[in-house]
Amino acid sequence: MAEVEPTRPTLTTVFQPGPPRECLLAILPIEAIRTLQQTCHEFADLYEYALPAVWNIDKLLRRFLPHPKAFRAEMTKNNAIICGEVALRFFDHTAAWHPDNMDVEVPNSSASYHLHWHLLKVQGYAYSAWKSQHPFRVMLDDDGEYFGFAETRTYQNLNE
């Protein structure tokens, strides 16, 4: 009786919807995903599939906040933006490191006040300024002219 060789997985079977596909998309850079998408008709939806699976901001924010959707809504109301390591990690999902803090820029003191209370009351954080931390820094534009100031606040997650 002839021995039947097991079928070897092909690229198209590996990229069938499911856990193997999600794992591969999580480690592939966006350029590779776009290139694979152009190789055959079966991969036409890779990028669209990867968007909610790999670039999921709520999943990333859950590392810091118990209620990421509420925080995003508060950010929208106050024209705040996430920057620093968390933003870099979001766009470069292949990076091996995971940020341990989150920087949020707000346009003015009113927005800072609203986000401050949101972090305390909704997200369960406590304000804890460092003794050596100066809460304000002067902002300069590209020509070195005074642009405004930025406020730095440090919070401690009480949910951990």
DSSP-assigned states of every residue in 28-49: S-HHHHHHHHTT-GGGTTHHHH
Q: Are 139 and 147 in contact (CB under 8 A)?
A: yes
Query: Which residues, including other chains, have CB under 8 Å from residue 14's CB and lie 6 or more apart?
Result: 20, 21, 24
Q: Residue 76 phi/psi, 5° resolution?
A: -60, -45
Which helix (H) or strand (E) element contains residue 155?
strand 155-157
**Of 80, 86, 57, 68, nearest to 123 (Cα)?**
68
What gap in Å lies between CA 141 and CA 149, rounded to an integer? Answer: 11
pLDDT given at position 74:
96
Residue 145 has φ and ψ, to the nearest 5°, of -85, 150
pLDDT at 70: 97
- Write out the DSSP string of 93-151: TT-S---S--EEE-SSHHHHHHHHHHHHHTS-EEE---TT--SEEEEE-TTS-EEEEEE
Write down the pLDDT at residue 112: 84
Q: What is the pLDDT of residue 33?
A: 87
What count of other Cβ atoms lies within 10 Å of the Cβ of residue 64?
20
Write out the chain's pLDDT in tens, 160 residues: 667 777 777 777 777 777 888 888 888 888 888 898 898 888 888 888 888 877 889 988 998 999 999 999 999 999 999 988 888 888 887 777 777 788 888 888 788 889 889 988 999 888 776 555 555 555 556 666 655 555 566 676 766 6
